[in-house]
Chain A
């Protein structure tokens, strides 16, 4: 095991666990932008309405965040003149290119598979109970697929800048 490999492993773990940690913090920040003291007198109906509003805000934020992530990634590749070489996996650009491909798949998965089903599960769009049950499995699998894809994505993101030696 070379030091380059260990260094890359640390970089990968650094990114991955930073996302787990701060991702949870941001999720809380989006769902609870202001402190709201618990009030036992709040009606069940008001609580449900509040929860739905928070979920809409949360889901909207992370969906549009995905577009910012993808566009800024494309912007960086374009600025460096690597866009075509990355997506055609040409030479050393194949490292970040693989990351770009995985990220693109994740974005498409989120917007085209997960979201159309998720909005029925969460009740943002009315749907019969059976349809909501069917959609819940699809949403779960699409979401977990993105979790799986994020592991190699972060590996290639971490390798893009300094881990090229690992591939030689």
Chain B
């Protein structure tokens, strides 16, 4: 099964997407 982990672009995009999601979570908490 292909995952974002399997490419450099996928890894970086997954990291940036996760950052955005967690940023919104923390922003909602504060």
Which A residues form the contact surface with B (CB < 8 A)? 89, 91-92, 94-95, 98, 102, 140-141, 144-145, 147-152, 155-156, 167-168
CA of A168 to CA of B23, assembled, Å? 11
Instruction: Label chain A's interface by main secondary structure.
Output: helix
User: Of all chain A residues, which has the CB nearest B16?
Assistant: A151
Question: How close is B24's CB to chain A, nearest CB, in angstroms?
Answer: 10
Q: Which residues of A contact B14 (CB under 8 A)?
A: 148
Instruction: Label chain B's interface by main secondary structure.
Output: helix
Question: How close is A14's CB to chain B, nearest CB, in angstroms?
Answer: 16
Which B residues form the contact surface with A (CB < 8 A)? 3-6, 11-12, 14-16, 18-19, 22-23, 25-27, 29-30
**Do A141 and B5 contact each other (CB < 8 Å), given the known contacts A148-B11, A148-B18, A152-B18?**
yes
CA of A89 to CA of B19, assembled, Å? 16
